[in-house]
Each structure stands twice: as structure tokens, then as C-alpha cells.
Amino acid sequence: MNLKQKTSAKSKSSLRDGEGRTAFFAISPFYFLYLVFGIFPILYTSYMAFFAWDPLGEKVFIGLTNFTNLLQDEVLWKALRNTLSIWVLGTVPQLALALYLATILNRNRLRFSNFWRAAILIPNVTSVLAIAVIFSSLYGRDFGLINYVLNIFGVDKINWMEGTLTSHFEIATMIIWRWTGYNALIYLAAMQSIPKELYESASLDGATGWQQFKYVTLPGIRNVMIFTITMSTIGGLQTFNEPYILGGVTGGNDKQFYTLAMFLYEEAFRKFQFGYGAAIGIFIFFCVVIFALINATIASKIAKD
Amino acid sequence: MFKSLRKAKIVAVFAVAGALVLPTTPASAAPVEITLSCFNDLNLGNLLKEWETVNPNIKVKLKTADFNAHHDGLLTQLIAGSGPDIACVEVGYTSRFKAYPQLFTNLGKTFKANTLEKSFINWRWEQGVARDGTIIGIPTDVGGLAMCYRQDLLKKAGLPNERGAVSAATSTTAKLTAFAEKYVAATGKPFLDNVSQLFEGVSRQGADGIQFYDKKTDKIVEVPQVKKAYDLAATFATKKLSAEIAPWSSDWNQGMGNGAFAAMLCPSWLLANIQNNAKDIPGAWDVAQMPGGGANWGGSQLTIPKFAAHPKQAWTFINWVLAPEQQLKLFLDKGVLPTTPAVYKDPKFLAAKDIAYNNAPIGKIFSDVVMSIKKPIYEGKYQVSVKDAYNAAVGRMASGKQTPEASWAQLMKEIKKIKALS
């Protein structure tokens, strides 16, 4: 290495030293917390999954037994089916609705726009329990409002949480209620970063509202859309709160709304099979990885087009 | 400037700490706050207010969570090495915690709780003792089982509606079925709230104290009484004698007030609940004997986790709140059934008549049930999982999703899986 290179490298690094240290210092709390609450539990869970792990007693190494048992457990596949079904029912309408609401909020002529933008986040910050109380009485079999309305149109009483598809529907509507506003705000932020000039020139060219949406708005928020789809996929695979509170810890008499996360919870914290629970956690992890990869492939394909 | 301020602060902290540690002035000890964590307030509201004047130096802070969440969370907390000063544990979950006595203060060794044993109902006391003899909890209440019924609705249906007559007409499960059929035929409305409660109550009537677990071997077993209860539930479901409203649902609560059903099994701790939901129809409900004989269902214990910050103060409170005098007050106030039988002879207890229940002498009725029990149900480590599986089987059958036979077959498969757990 010659002198010139060395000095330039040095001056570069001394420049980085000043800014870099502060920057690293500023972001270090996140990484510290992530190490403690993110990386360590992940590694420890992978370790536990190879043991018959009594939380207070013996820990016996059993190799891959937990995994082979898990893959043969019919409950796992039922939980996976339920989770995916609830995820599809909850995510697709949710993101579509969020997009629609975001376009409304983005209109210049909208009155009290700040009020609506704040109001749309209220379902997300309301206590889950309070929402669940409202939802379970709305969906009540005998005195619920929804069955009452359906009854006017001649539909028989539906026992929502008892059926497979009906319980998924009920859970999905609660997920939609909670998360639509949140995603709408993210979309709104992305839409506002699209330069106004693009719309102006589009309308000068005689583009209709729909054409503007299709050719200006959608491409402009594409990256954010991929982000929200990925995040709601991860969230969807971990669905726990809504089915737990609406239907109970057992996931239904026929396990009709038993999700992967509920399966993990029951094995680890109600049957004390920590090792088996850890194996379920690893399974969920790989599901998330697979879906994230699918998302990434689609995203890069769209980006190329 | 800043440095000296910090120094002053440090000195102040040490001074305070020193004052706390030095045992020179015990009379002016600073008040201690202890936490009581539970799945509801155990109806203690008024007693907690009284405690403030009895012992202002020990403040009790109540923390509540949902029933399952409380018990699941407590175990996680204990395993992680923390816990509240006092934790309540319901009987159905006690077996889980009794499997880990090392997580609790041994109340016998530490506080000589065994001297209290003789003032409590013998078998009820045992429910708070682990297999190795560790006393982990002191019983707060006992759930004697009876049947609550709407005397006004039975009268309208042309059936006997007086306490003794109803008890006689439903004294066995066969008679109960016939009685329910008559009611349904006369009114076209369901008789019972749901069959899962019926199953739970009847499956607890085994004379030998076995429901799901055998005490001798500590193993999961199947006994005829449980199958009998299942078959009875199936009869009620297929003949549409029950409204099939899920327990603890909003429909259930409303049903207690609007006549959606005419009878329900009522362990004593459910009385306050019915009373709340039937405020508009005082005197409509009444209490008869449990068909097929009395049984025990529910009740809780107060425990002191190993990691409690203030075990001594916690014990002082438990000792006071579960003494017979306080238990009597709690009964007169909220209808909570005492665990100390001395109270059952108190004239005030015997004279108590509940207007909400058509002036039924509920103290007498429920204490008779409790005193007739010789062997309580023995519960094992996976009690909760076994119970969940049975309840689900009853639910599948009751909703018509599966035939009683198919649902039972699936249940046996699930039970086999639980048996395989260590």
C-alpha cells in the first residue's frame, strides 16, 4: 500500500470516526435490545427444540424427535390450514380497503382531513379486549346484531365461532378492523411523496382518475405495498390475539380456529412441553422465511418490469 | 453544581435505605404494598376496604387478568423466578401448580399453617397440599353444587315449582331428563342452559372421588361416571332439551335474565353472577338439590409464591382475610361459601335468605351439600388439558358437528396423546 492511499484511507476513516461513532451510538439501543430480545431468544429456542425440556426439571437431549413428531402431528397441519385461511381472509380485503381509504384521505378537497387521518388509527390503538367484547356480542348467536340483521333476510341463526369458515370470517373481520387504518396511513404517506407534477401532467394529458391511480399512484407506492404485504404476512402467520380472545384458548371444539401460534402457546405454556413448543416456533420461522422469499421474488420481478 | 446535587441525592438514598434496614424503630415502619394477583377480585371489595383500617401498614394492591391468562401467566412468571406476593389459584388449576411445590412458600414450614388445618373443611384443605406435603395454598371458598331454576317459568309450564318438590322431581338424572322433556313439551323452549355444564357437574359425582385422575396411581383413567355424564349430555343435546348457549358468553349472561332457559347447574360461586344478570326479575330464580346428589365444583386457594417480595406481610393478610369472621362477612355480603365449617353453625349464616332467590336459605342448602362430600375429586398435573379435551368432545357432539360416538372416539385419541406426556 503506498503512502497516498494510506493517507486518503486515514482521512476517510477519521471523517467516519466523528460521524460514525455518534451514528452508531444513536442506533445502538435498538441493536442492544434486538440482541437481548431478538437474537438470543431465537438461538435459545433453536437449542431447546432438540430437548425434552421440562421447565423445572430434567432437560434430555432427544435429537430430532420433536421435529419428526411435529411433522406427523395432524394438529400441526390443521393449525397451518387455519392460519393460512384466516390470513387470506384477513389480509387481502384489508390491504385493498386500506388502499381505497388512503386515496380518499389523499384527496385535496377532503374536509377535516387531519381529523380523518387521526381517526382512522383509532381502531389500532384501542384495547384488543375492548374490541373483542364488541365483536363477540355483534356475532352473538342468539342476541347478536349480525344474526338479527341476517334473520330479517330469512337467514337462520349462525353459530359463528362453531363453524370453520364462519369462525375464520369473524376473526378476519376483527383483524381487518384493527389493521386497515394502520396500513392506510402507511399508503397515505407513500402517496404524498409522489410529486404533484406527475398528476398535473397526467391530467393535462387527459388521464381519468382511474388511469391516474393505475399509472401514477400504484407505481409510486409499489415499494411500500411490498413492505405492507410482507409485514402482514409475518403478522398473519403469528395470528394469536384475535382467535384467543374471541373463541378461547383451545381454538374451538374441533380446533376449527386453532392457529400455529395458539398451538405453540398450548404445548409450551399449558402442557409444559417447552421443547416441542420450541420446535413449533422453528416451524413458524421457516414458514415466514418461505413466504418472505416468495414476496421478495415477486417484488424483484415487478421492479424489473 | 450538578455533581454536588448528585452526591446529595446519593446520600439521601443511603439515608433512607439505612432507615429501612435498621430495626430500631419497628413501630413507625413505612407502609408496605403487597400485590394480590387473581382472575377476579374474589368478591373481596368490601373486605379490602375494611383491611385498610385494620392494618394501614400493609396495603393490598389487586391485579386481575382473564381466567386462563392469569393461571398461564403465573406459571411463566414463577418459572422465570418472579411472582406477586399473593397469587390465587383455582382448584381446577391447582394440580398444575402442586406438581411444582418448589415454586411456592411452604406455608406449613414457614408460617405454621398446619395449626389452622382443623378449622377448615378437611378435604378442602387437602386440595391446597402437594403430594409431598407442602402446603401451598389456603382455601378461600368452596363450590357446593346445586341446581338453580326459574320458579316462575316452571309454574307457567304447569310443573311443580316449590324447592322441595323440584328437588324430588329431579332427584336422579333419569327423572331430570323426564322433567326437562315435560317442560320443553309444555313451552317449546329449552330447559337447560347448555350440556357442557351438565357434563361437568354430573361427571363430578363419582363416589370414589375419581373424575379424570386416579389418586392412588396419579394416572389418567376413564371411569363409568364420566361416560354416564357424557351420555346424559348426549341425550339432552339430541332431544334438544338445552339451549346450547356457551358458558361465560354474552348470550349466557343475558339468558339468565330473559328466560332463554329455565334451569342451570349452579355451584355456589355462580350465585352472584346469576343475581347480577337477573336484577330485573328478583325472586324468579330458586335453588333445588343437584340431581343425582351433591358434588364439589370450584373454589380457590391463596398462595404465596417463593419469589414474593413480602411473604410475611402477605401471610398476615391471608391469615386475616380467611379467618372465619371474615368468611362469614363475605358470605353475608356476596354469598361466597366459607371453607371454615364453624361458620355453618352461626345463626346469622343459617338465617341468611336471599331475596334474589325467592328467599331460599342458600347458606343452609349449600353447606349441607358441602358437608355431605367425603372425597373430593382428585386432580392431576394435566388436569386442564384433559378437561379441555372432554369439554371439546361434548361441544362437538352438542353442536351437531359430530355424532356422540364419533366425538367420543376422537376424544379417546386425544386423551391417549395426553397420557403419553411425562
- Nearest chain A Cα distance for residue B382, angstroms: 7
Residue B251 to residue A142, Cβ atoms within 8 A: yes
- Nearest chain A Cα distance for residue B146, angstroms: 26
Contacts of A269 in chain B (CB under 8 A): 72, 75-76
Which residue is listed with cell 394435566? Answer: B382
Contacts of B251 in chain A (CB under 8 A): 140-144
User: Taking Cα atoms as reference points, which of A135, A256, A270 lies closest to residue B69?
Assistant: A270
What's the pLDDT at B16? 42
Task: Report the run of H or E that residue B47 belongs to, with start and end.
Answer: helix B45-54
Q: Which of residues 89-148 of A touch B (CB under 8 A)?
A: 136-137, 140-144
The type of residue at B82 is S
- Nearest chain B Cα distance for residue A72, angstroms: 13
Category of B308 on φ-ψ map: left (φ > 0), alpha (ψ -120 to 50) or beta:
beta
- Are B180 and B230 spatial neighbours (Cβ–Cβ below 8 Å)? no
Q: Is A153 on the interface with B (CB under 8 A)?
A: no
For A249, name the nearest residue in chain B, comparing CA atoms only: B68
For B389, name the nearest residue in chain A, comparing CA atoms only: A253
What's the pLDDT at A18? 66
Q: Is A197 helix (H, G, I), strand (E, B) or coil?
A: helix
What's the pLDDT at B296? 87
For A270, which of B100, B384, B422 is closest by C-beta distance?
B384
Beta strands B137-139; B219-220: pairing state: unpaired
What's the pLDDT at A226? 87
Q: Which value, in Å, is the radius of gyration of the alpha carbons in chain B?
A: 24
- Are A160 and A74 spatial neighbours (Cβ–Cβ below 8 Å)? no
Beta strands B285-289; B137-139: pairing state: unpaired
For A253, which of B68, B79, B392 is closest by C-beta distance?
B392
Q: Dihedral, CA atoms, B402, B404, B406, B409, nearest 10 degrees?
A: 140
- Between the two ends of chain B, the Cα-to-Cα distance in Å is 64
DSSP conformational letter for A157? P
CA distance B126 to B120: 10
Contacts of A252 in chain B (CB under 8 A): 392
- Classify the complex by whether its ipTM is higher than 0.90, answering yes or no: no
Residue A143 to residue B68, Cβ atoms within 8 A: no
Q: Which residues of chain B have pLDDT under 50?
A: 1-28
Angstrom CA distances, A213 to A89, A94, A132, A202, B51, stand at: 25, 19, 35, 10, 67
Q: Is A157 on the interface with B (CB under 8 A)?
A: no
Helix then strand then coil, % of chain A, to nearest 5 = 75, 0, 20
Contacts of A56 in chain B (CB under 8 A): 79, 100, 102-103
Residue B251 to residue A140, Cβ atoms within 8 A: yes
Contacts of A271 in chain B (CB under 8 A): 382, 385, 418, 421
Q: Dihedral, CA atoms, B68, B70, B76, B77, nearest 10 degrees?
A: 180
Question: Can you read off the three cell numbers belonging to residue B241?
Answer: 332439551
Q: Within 13 A of B316's CA, how many CA atoms are on the CB side? A: 15
Residue A225 bridge partners (DSSP) = none
CA distance B403 to B400: 7
Category of B244 on φ-ψ map: left (φ > 0), alpha (ψ -120 to 50) or beta:
left
B346 burial level (CB within 10 Å; 0-12, 13-18, 19+): middle
Determine which of B388, B391, B410, B413 to mutate to test the interface with A (most A C-beta atoms within 10 Å).
B388
Residue B148 bridge partners (DSSP) = B264, B287
Report how many helices (DSSP H) and strands (DSSP E) chain B contains, helices first: 19, 10
Contacts of A255 in chain B (CB under 8 A): 392
Category of B189 on φ-ψ map: left (φ > 0), alpha (ψ -120 to 50) or beta:
beta
- Are B385 and B359 spatial neighbours (Cβ–Cβ below 8 Å)? no
Q: Is A21 on the interface with B (CB under 8 A)?
A: no
Which residue is listed with cell 323426564? Answer: B178
For B393, name the nearest residue in chain A, comparing CA atoms only: A253
DSSP conformational letter for A181? H
Contacts of B395 in chain A (CB under 8 A): 162, 253
Q: Is A201 on the interface with B (CB under 8 A)?
A: no
B303 burial level (CB within 10 Å; 0-12, 13-18, 19+): buried
Determine the Cα angle at B188 with ends B179 and B399, to 5°: 85
CA distance B373 to B298: 14
CA distance B375 to B206: 9
Q: Is B141 helix (H, G, I), strand (E, B) or coil?
A: coil
For B251, which of A141, A254, A272 is closest by C-beta distance?
A141
Q: Which residues of chain A have pLDDT under 50?
A: 1-11
CA distance A232 to A167: 20
CA distance B220 to B380: 8
Contacts of A254 in chain B (CB under 8 A): 392, 396, 401-402
For B396, which of A137, A253, A265 is closest by C-beta distance?
A253
The type of residue at A302 is I
Q: Is A46 helix (H, G, I), strand (E, B) or coil?
A: helix
Residue A52 bridge partners (DSSP) = A60
CA distance B27 to A64: 61
Distance, C-alpha B171 to centroid of its chain: 24
For A142, which of B260, B393, B399 is closest by C-beta distance?
B260
For B388, which of A140, A250, A269 is closest by C-beta distance?
A250
A198 burial level (CB within 10 Å; 0-12, 13-18, 19+): middle
Distance, C-alpha B308 to centroid of its chain: 24
Angstrom CA distances, A39 to A23, A33, A101, stand at: 22, 9, 37
What's the pLDDT at B15? 43
Q: How many CB pairs under 8 A join A and B?
A: 62
Contacts of A142 in chain B (CB under 8 A): 243, 245, 251, 254-255, 260
For A248, name the nearest residue in chain B, comparing CA atoms only: B68
What's the pLDDT at B57? 92
Contacts of B92 in chain A (CB under 8 A): none
- Nearest chain B Cα distance for residue A120, angstroms: 28
What residues of B are in the A interface, CB distance below 8 Å? 68, 72, 75-76, 79, 100, 102-103, 243, 245, 249-251, 254-255, 260, 382, 384-385, 388, 391-393, 395-396, 399, 401-402, 418, 421-422
Q: Within 13 A of A62's CA, how many CA atoms are on the CB side? A: 18
Question: Can you read off the three cell numbers belonging to residue B302?
Answer: 391463596
Question: Can you read off the three cell numbers belonging to residue B411?
Answer: 376424544
pTM of the model: 0.84
DSSP codes joined into one string, B231-293: HHHHHHHHTT-B--PPTTSHHHHHHHHHTS-SEEEEEGGGHHHHHHHTTTSTT-EEEEEPTT-
Reported residue count of chain A is: 305
Q: Is the C-alpha dihedral spanning A121, A127, A132, A133 positive or negative?
A: negative
What's the pLDDT at B12? 45
CA distance B409 to B403: 10
